[in-house]
Amino acid sequence: MIKQRGVYVIEFTLVAAVFFILLFAAIEFGRLLFTYNVLHEASRRAARLAVVCQVNSDINSIALFNDADILPNLNATNLTISYLSYDGNNASGIDIDLVRAEIKDYQHQFLVPGLYRTLNSPTFVTTLPRESLGVFKGGTTDCS
């Protein structure tokens, strides 16, 4: 009996280690999916604002949820808004047919104890056909 005193402690240590690794992995995977969902929604939101606001409007803070600080390290340098013609070339003025919002170069930080890694996210792109671009019959709309 004396030789088996520490068996339960060793068994608990082995099972607990595997359990906590799986628990932290599930939590991190959930955080990663949440981050990708927020980035996708931010690109959609930026494109939607760009098609209804004037071309020179500053819509970055509205589109990127900056007031809420939902994601760390997400800022205006990650968002690029392009005004394009149907053939994909840059356009201006009356030649604008499409608006593209891209979120790129975002880095997701893992928070698993002992595994602090940075994951580069893919580029999230939303392209929408132009709408009013902030100009309507009664005047203009500035969304800044």
Residues of the chain scoring pLDDT < 70:
1-3, 67, 139-142, 144
Question: What is the pairing mode between strands 124-129 and 135-136?
Answer: unpaired
Distance between CA atoms of residues 6 and 139, nearest Å: 80
The pLDDT of residue 126:
95
The pLDDT of residue 37:
95
Helix and strand numbers (H, E) in the chain are 2, 7
pTM as predicted: 0.83
Helix (H) or strand (E) holding 128: strand 124-129
Which whole-number Å values give the CA distances from 47 to 10, 35, 114, in the listed order?
56, 19, 38
The pLDDT of residue 43:
94
Distance between CA atoms of residues 126 and 113, nearest Å: 35
The pLDDT of residue 94:
84
The pLDDT of residue 142:
66
Distance between CA atoms of residues 27 and 20, nearest Å: 10
The pLDDT of residue 144:
64
Residue 99: which of 77, 73, 81, 113 has the closest Cα? 81
